[in-house]
Amino acid sequence: AFHDEGHHPHIHLVAYSKKAQEGYLSRQGIMSMRSSLAGVNFAEDLHNIYTEQTATRDKIKKDWHELVTAIIGAMDLNNTEHSEIEQKLILLAERLRRTQGKKVYGYLKRDVKDIIDEIVTMLEKDDNISKLYDLWWEYKCEVLGKYNKEIPQTKPPLSENKEFKSLKNDIIREALKIGQKIRKKKEKNGESKT
């Protein structure tokens, strides 16, 4: 049943089966149906929100990369403005050097992932990143509000948000570059390659 209320258009959907073994919907299945129906019924509204959310996500990723690059550049100049982050990046570079296999977040051991998560948590405190993530979360809640009565009350930390997993892999790439610089510096100074 569709109710075209001006401020709150909505539908009521009933799904059932005459056979007891059929027609069971899990909570996730119900949410999936709601999401699909909202996507159809609110396509125009959602398109605008998704466009803004995507633009904000892309801005977070761009600014994130610039921030990490700036921190690493400062490390090269011995500027210690972000010394705690720098220490974690060096620790990560060392741990990645001793890690076998694919150096992608999903394949790493928990202790290495913890270092990456700590770095993400530290970088999330940057004013610009924090404001952009807050804005992205507002868009996310607006989308969820279209088909869900219960919107999460708290925003997950950036390190726990699966939609920003690429930021973790960005940290890994940069730590690998740091590791190469450290190795070259040691070789130049005649130190062991171990």
Task: Give the pLDDT band of residue 191 (cuts 50, 70, 90).
Answer: low
Intra-chain end-to-end CA distance of the chain, in Å: 70
How confident is the model at residue 185, as a pLDDT? 80
Total Cβ atoms within 10 A of residue 52 = 15
Alpha-carbon dihedral angle through residues 142, 146, 149, 152, given to the nearest 10 degrees: -30
Residue listed under structure tokens 């995507």: 54
DSSP-derived 3-state class of residue 2? strand
Whole-prediction pTM value?
A: 0.73
Query: Is 95 within 8 Å of 116 (Cβ atoms)?
Result: no
Which H/E stretch holds residue 118? helix 110-124
How confident is the model at residue 79, as a pLDDT? 61
Phi, psi of 24 (to 5 degrees): -70, 130
Q: Is the pLDDT at 28 greater than 90, yes or no? A: no
Taking residues 8-22, what's their average pLDDT?
Answer: 72
| Minimum mean pLDDT range among 30-39, 99-108, 118-127 | 30-39
Query: Is 158 within 8 Å of 164 (Cβ atoms)?
Result: yes
Q: Which residues pair with 10 in a beta bridge?
A: 3
Position with higher pLDDT, 166 vs 79: 166
**Which residue spans within the chain are E strands per DSSP?**
2-3, 10-11
